[in-house]
Structure formats: C-alpha cells, structure tokens
Amino acid sequence: MSSSHVLVLNCGSSSLKFAIIDIESGAEVLCGLAECLAEQHPLIKYKYDGAKQTITLNEGDAHQIAIARLVELVKHLGLDEQLIAVGHRVVHGGEHFTHSVLIDDNVLQAIKQTSTLAPLHNPANLLGIEAAKTAFSTLPQVAVFDTAFHQTMKPQAFLYALPYSLYKNHGIRRYGFHGTSHYYVSTQAHQILGLDKNNSRIVSAHLGNGCSVTAIKNGQSVDTSMGLTPLEGLMMGTRSGDIDPGIFAFLVNQLKYSPTQVDLLLNKQSGLLGISELSNDCRTIEEAATNGHEQAKLALDIFCYRLAKQIAAFAVPLAGLDALIFTGGIGENSDVIRSNVVSQLEFLGLQLDNNKNLAARFGQQGVITSSNSPCAIVIPTNEEWVIATDSAAIAKEQ
C-alpha cells in the first residue's frame, strides 16, 4: 500500500484541531479536537473508524502535551507509517507568503516576525509546528496561510487611507482571512457550475463564528471584507465588524475604557451576542426570533442587511456577478439567513428557489436559486482538504 496520508494541524490559542486525510481516497481517517488546553479540564476528543473517543489530559496540560498524546495515538493506531507530510494552518502570513510553503528556518523566522500582526494566533501555530517537528522529524512540515489567497489584492483594495508610512514601516494594511476556505469553495464552484476560470465573477460568503466575504475574479481574490485583523467587515458571532473608528476614542475618553477593554468589547461582546444580549450562536438566535424575541430578530436583520450590502458592493470590483457562494456553519445550514440575503439581492438577478434552499443543509451542496446566472450556491467548505493536498504536493517535490 502506498503512503498517502497527511496529518493536518490547526493549533489555536487554547485548542488543537487535527485530522489525518488520505489524499488518494479523500477519506478523513482520523479527526479530532483537543480543547481547554492550559485550562482546568483539558481533553482530546477524536473519531476513528466511526467511533468517538475521549482522552482526558491533566489540569494545565497545554499544546506540547496534547501533541505528544496525539502522536502516541497516531502511532498506536499504526497511522504514522502512512504519513507523508504534516500540514499546518497558519493564520497570518503577512506579505511574506502568497502560497503554501515547506517550513524551514527562514519560514519559521518569517512566521515569528508576523506574530505582531496576529499575537493570539501565530504563536499558537508556532507551538504546533515546533511540537510536530520534534515528533515527526523526518516528515516535511508545510505551512498553509489563511492570508495567502488574498495576496492578489491590489493596493486600492488593501490600503487604508492612513499615513502611508504606517503601511511601509509597520505593515498596517488589509490582509484578509479565511483564504483557504474562499479558495476551496470558489475552485469547487468553477467545477460544479462550469465557470470559465479566465472569465468568472464570484462572491464567496464564509459565515461561521467569524464571517467574511471575498470578491473573486478569474479565480483570484480582488477584495475581501476582513482587514489587518479578522475584526473588520461583517457583523459576526461576537465581533462587531465595521464601526466608526471614532467610537474607540469615545469609549476611551468619555466612558474611560482601557484599550484592552475596547478590544474585548469589539471582539468578544459585540456582533450577534451584543445586539441580541442572548447568544452568539446563530441557531439560538433564529429560534428566539421565531418565538418573538425582538432583539434576536434585530440581530438577524442587521446581520443579513450588512451581509447583503457587502455582497452587492463587491459587484463593483467584479463588474457583475456570476455566482454567490454560501459556506461555513451559518452559510451551509441557515436557510433563513440565505433566504433573507438573496431576496435583498434580487435586483442583481438572483431568484431564490425555496425548495432548493430548504434542501441545502447539513453538508448538502446545491444551487438554491432558480435563475441560471447569477446563481447562489451552497458549498460545504473543506479547509483541511486544501491543507492536505497542498502539503502532499510540496512533500512530493522534496
């Protein structure tokens, strides 16, 4: 049997998502999540051969221990012999990385340097890389960046109207995120809809706990809603998205917030949670709205209005629209949000098909509009697949 498995690691600040993907069959051989790392009750949950299992860790155990236990598990299951590479999701690649790369000392150094732009994420990603390098010292380690897909944006799309020196000296510009997801679903859309890669105009809406929209022309990102950080753009689960930057000074000067408190407010206490004062979970909000909860209804209205406005705005850089993609937990499952957004975009030619919209749930892909062009389509995202195939391709070159 030829080896064709890739270990995919997505190391967050207190969690570690992992999967082993067979790139020949596309099967997810093992998948799981280590959570509450460095907290009171850390544990690893995983699924192998159809069965769900749990490994309990000791209080305070962090990434290194979790990865060591994962390695034990992989070896115990005999999966290590099949591995050809380890692929790491890295959140911020700055301007250094326009595509996935083999990790060497220079790459490690560049990821470290970029940590100032993503102080919560990149250091956690680095922990995963260091631990995996030790555990699988003979395997190629590959970095796949959330920002890389958006490096095709032009200055008119990525520069803020701030003093140019802030960009030149400190890298303050728009980078965009969810690039792996936007790349995957747009590539799928080209295939499914038979779009010409040299002449296509796609808007992709990744709607999960974090939400972003990307304008994709001829297969390349030309604009995206997130910026220097994943806070810019759409309203999200707990993030505000765009606000008047003057609110920052108001909160600090008038209401005596510290910068850390403002950061917390905008990242953790706003969005669906902030408006509804109920939950950041879209399912809870939808249920409450159905039962007449006024602030839940308001949260959904704002979410959909702002999303529709952003999608329509991206018809400008695209000079039209061939396809609108919905993906992420909300995009893949919420017929309510899709229906609301598509009906606000009828003027662009989109016509919702109610039955198709109701059918596209729980991992089902499908076109949800009746008109052929432009069309709206639901495509479940698969970032792990992109990480696995990129890593395998780079490993083969070695």
Per the annotation, binding residues for ATP are 17, 206-210, 281-283, 329-333
The single residue of 61, 146, 353, 390 carrying the catalytic annotation is 146
Pick the closest to residue 211 from 163, 271, 128, 298 (CA basis).
271
Helix intervals (H) in 136-193:
155-158, 164-170, 179-193
Which position's Cβ is nearest ligand AMP?
Answer: 329
Q: What is the bridge-based pairing of β-strands 83-90 and 141-145?
A: parallel
Pick the closest to residue 14 from 44, 34, 40 (CA basis).
34
By CB under 6 A, tell whether 328 contacts ligand AMP.
yes
Identify the residue among 170, 283, 309, 396 touching ligand AMP (CB under 6 A).
Answer: 283
By CB under 6 A, tell whether 329 contacts ligand AMP.
yes
Query: Which SS3 state, helix, strand or coil, does residue 376 take?
Result: strand
Residue 263 designated active-site: no
- For ligand AMP, which stretch binds (CB under 6 A), given 60-68, 123-131, 165-173, 279-287? 279-287
Q: Given the complex with ligand AMP, which of 42 and 331 has the nearer CB atom? A: 331
By CB under 6 A, tell whether 287 contacts ligand AMP.
no
- For ligand AMP, which stretch binds (CB under 6 A), given 19-27, 29-37, 258-266, 282-290? 282-290
By CB under 6 A, tell whether 271 contacts ligand AMP.
no
Query: Which SS3 state, helix, strand or coil, does residue 135 take?
Result: helix
Say how many residues touch ligand AMP, by CB under 6 A: 12
Phi-psi bin for 352: left (phi > 0), alpha (psi -120 to 50), beta?
beta
Pick the closest to residue 87 from 74, 69, 101 (CA basis).
101
- Alpha-carbon span 243 to 258, nearest angstrom: 18
**Token pair 């395997």 is at which residue?**
139
- Alpha-carbon span 78 to 177, nearest angstrom: 35
Q: How far is the CB of 391 from ligand AMP (least distance, A)?
A: 22
By CB under 6 A, tell whether 333 contacts ligand AMP.
yes
Identify the residue among 334, 340, 357, 389 touching ligand AMP (CB under 6 A).
Answer: 334
By CB under 6 A, tell whether 197 contacts ligand AMP.
no
| Numbered residues of the known binding site for Mg(2+) | 10, 383
Pick the closest to residue 10 from 28, 27, 33, 29 (CA basis).
33
- For ligand AMP, which stretch binds (CB under 6 A), given 190-198, 247-255, 323-331, 350-358? 323-331
- For ligand AMP, which stretch binds (CB under 6 A), given 49-57, 116-124, 262-270, 281-289? 281-289
- Alpha-carbon span 337 to 304, nearest angstrom: 6
Q: How far is the CB of 175 from ligand AMP (least distance, A)?
A: 20
| Numbered residues of the known binding site for substrate | 89
Identify the residue among 281, 295, 312, 317 touching ligand AMP (CB under 6 A).
Answer: 281
- For ligand AMP, which stretch binds (CB under 6 A), given 6-14, 107-115, 166-174, 276-284? 276-284
**Token pair 């590479």 is at which residue?**
85
**Token pair 């070695």 is at which residue?**
398
Q: What is the bridge-based pairing of β-strands 5-11 and 83-90?
A: parallel
Q: Taking each helix axis as running N to C, give the angle between helix 122-135 and helix 105-113, from 0 to 180 degrees, rounded to the nearest 10.
A: 160
Contacts of 376 (CB under 8 A, 6+ apart): 323, 324, 325, 326, 338, 342, 350, 352, 367, 368, 369
Q: How far is the CB of 140 from ligand AMP (least distance, A)?
A: 29
By CB under 6 A, tell whether 200 contacts ligand AMP.
no
Q: Given the complex with ligand AMP, which of 230 and 328 has the nearer CB atom? A: 328
Residues carrying an active site annotation: 146
Q: Which residues bind ligand AMP (CB under 6 A)?
A: 208-209, 237, 281-283, 286, 328-330, 333-334
